[in-house]
Amino acid sequence: MGPTMDVASVQRAYRRWAPVYDLTFGRIAEAGRLHAVEIINRRKGSVLEVGVGTGLSLPRYAEHLQITGVDLSPDMLGKAQERVEEKGLSNVVGLYEMDAGALAFEDESFDTVVAMYVMTVVPDPELVMAELERVCAPGGEVLLVNHFSEEEGVRGWIERKMEPLAATLGWRPVFPVDRVLGSAGLRLAEKRSLRPAGLFTMLRFVKQPELVADRKIKHDVVGAMPSYKPAEARG
C-alpha cells in the first residue's frame, strides 16, 4: 500500500505548493486537464470537480454547465476563488473546503463527477471512488485523470525510488491503476494515455446501478443453491 497519506500531510504539502502550483505542476498537467474538460463540455447539467485546486480548469468549462468545486486545501481554494472573481465565472455555483472521502452532498447529485490528479493524493483512494460513485447520478459519468505507476522499466524503478518521499511530495509515486477499478456500479467506458509521454491516464466511467443489482442477484442465487455431494460419495 506504500507510505501513509493523511489529511494533515496533504494540507501541509499543498500549502507549500499553492503559490507556485500554476507555474509548475499546473503546466505539466495541462494536456490532461484540457482533454477531460473537452469531454465534459459535450455533456449537460451539473458538474462536480473534486480536487479543484487553484481552479485552473474553471475558465475552460462551457457556460451551459453548472460547476461545483471542492478541495481539501484552503490555500488552493483561495486561489480558485480569486480566479472565479477575476474572470466573472457565473457558472461556478460554489467552491467548498471538503474531504473527498466524505463529500457533503446528497446521493446522485451531479450529472458528471471529475477528479483530476487527485487519487494519488488522498489518504483512502478506494473510499474516494465510492464517494464519486455515490454522488454521481445514474447514467452519469465519472472521469479520472491521474498518474498510474508502472511495475517494470526505468519509470517503474524511478517511481519506487521516489516512494519514500510521498508525504513530502504530497502524492504517491507508486499507485497502480487497480486501486480505482473496484467500484461495483461504475463501468469503465474509456481509457486513454495522455501527454506528456503517457505519464498520465484518463479513465471515463459510466454509472450503471444495475451492475450492482446484477451482482447481488447472482450472489444471492449462488448462495441459495443447495449443496450436493458427488454421486460416488453418497451412500
Which residue reads 471512488 in cell numbers? 129
Domain boundaries, the chain: 7-233
Query: Going by DSSP bridges, is the β-strand pair 136-146/110-116 parallel, antiparallel, or unpaired?
Result: parallel
Q: What is the pLDDT of residues 41-93, one digit of tens each?
A: 999 999 999 999 999 999 999 999 999 999 988 888 999 999 999 999 999 99
Three-state secondary-structure class, residue 136:
strand
**Over residues 138-144, mean pLDDT:** 97
Is residue 167 scored above 70 in pLDDT? no
**What is the spatial distance between Cα 151 and Cα 159, in angstroms, rounded to a whole number?**
9
Instruction: Quote the percentage of the chain above a pLDDT of 90.
Output: 47
Is residue 113 scored above 70 in pLDDT? yes
**What is the spatial distance between Cα 190 and Cα 153, in angstroms, rounded to a whole number?**
25
pLDDT recorded at residue 119: 86
Confidence tier at 123 by pLDDT (50, 70, 90): confident
Confidence tier at 164 by pLDDT (50, 70, 90): very low
pLDDT recorded at residue 100: 94
User: For the whole model, what pTM was predicted?
Assistant: 0.75
pLDDT recorded at residue 94: 97
Mean pLDDT of the chain: 78
pLDDT recorded at residue 219: 45
Higher pLDDT, 220 or 54: 54
**What is the spatial distance between Cα 170 and Cα 122, in angstroms, rounded to a whole number?**
9
pLDDT recorded at residue 31: 80
User: What grid cell was written down for 186?
Assistant: 461504475
**Over residues 21-28, mean pLDDT:** 51
Name, in order, each residue with C-beta under 8 angstroms of 32's C-beta and a sequence gap of 6 or more: 116, 117, 145, 194, 195, 200, 202
Q: What is the pLDDT of residues 83-112, one digit of tens each?
A: 999 999 999 999 999 999 999 999 999 999
CATH architecture of 7-233: 3-Layer(aba) Sandwich (3.40)
| 148 touches 175 (CB < 8 A) | yes
**Over residues 161-170, mean pLDDT:** 49
User: What grid cell was written down for 148?
Assistant: 498510474
pLDDT recorded at residue 24: 47
11-48: b or e for each residue (b if 16 or more CB lie within 10 Å)? eebbeebbeebbeeebeebebbbebbbebbbeeeebbb
Backbone angles phi, psi at 206, to 5 degrees: -110, 130
**What is the spatial distance between Cα 11 and Cα 6, in angstroms, rounded to a whole number?**
9
Least Cα distance to 6 among 167, 139, 156, 120 occurs for 167
Confidence tier at 156 by pLDDT (50, 70, 90): very low
Confidence tier at 215 by pLDDT (50, 70, 90): low
pLDDT recorded at residue 157: 40
pLDDT recorded at residue 233: 40
